[in-house]
Amino acid sequence: MIASLLDKGIKNWAVLDVMRTTPRHIFLDEALAHRAYEDTALPIGFSQTISQPYVVARMTEAVLAGRSGRLSRVLEIGTGCGYQTAIIAQLADRVWSVERIQPLLDKARKNLGLLKIRNVRSKHDDGSLGWPEYGPFDAIIAAAAPQQVPEELLQQLADGGRLVIPVGSERGGQELRLIERSADEFHTQILEAVNFVPLYLGQVQY
């Protein structure tokens, strides 16, 4: 898997090392565990997926770019099974993660516990609202695609902070955007085409 990430242009050695040492198979059902180290997205139930390792690495590398050390405060939108959470938690002091599907959140908490990752706080809620009481955040990573970037997430980004988010629709195409805040201005860079599950605004599932 690491050779594939290198071939696809991932250069941050801290990201590569965390990807190498994090057991992706524990985040998958037993029937799919043998495919854990393929560079592909895989189903985790509830019409959701565990992201392709390259995409996880690309998003993580993007929010770390230009920093010499760890991130301080990170917000994740879409905990899923907890794989992206586990990767970023090893590169940050604190992570807050929001998931709208309760059974997935329960699985993620169990998975993070197995890895003894203790610096993550999670909740069951509408991810498009972020987690304002713990902002502003150095970095925000969204693992689901809205049609437009929620204003709430932009406002929870610290000055100099970075938001990585897929934007668009499954039918109309999606693009991965890197948005950096400078005072009250937001500078956007399009990284590449992607394919994520939708971010449903105003919806939670029990």
Catalytic residue among 4, 51, 72, 169: 51
**C-alpha to C-alpha distance for 73 and 137, rounded to whole angstroms:** 5
27: which 2 tokens?
């985040």
Q: Measure the CA–CA gap between 105 and 111, rounded to whole angstroms.
A: 10
Nearest to 88 by CA among 4, 181, 22, 173: 22
Instruction: Give the whole-angstrom CA distance, residue 95 versus residue 77.
Output: 11
Active site residue 51: yes
∠ CA 161-163-155, rounded to 5°: 70
User: Phi/psi of residue 57, each to 5°?
Assistant: -65, -40
For the chain, give the number of residues: 206
Catalytic residue positions, numbered: 51
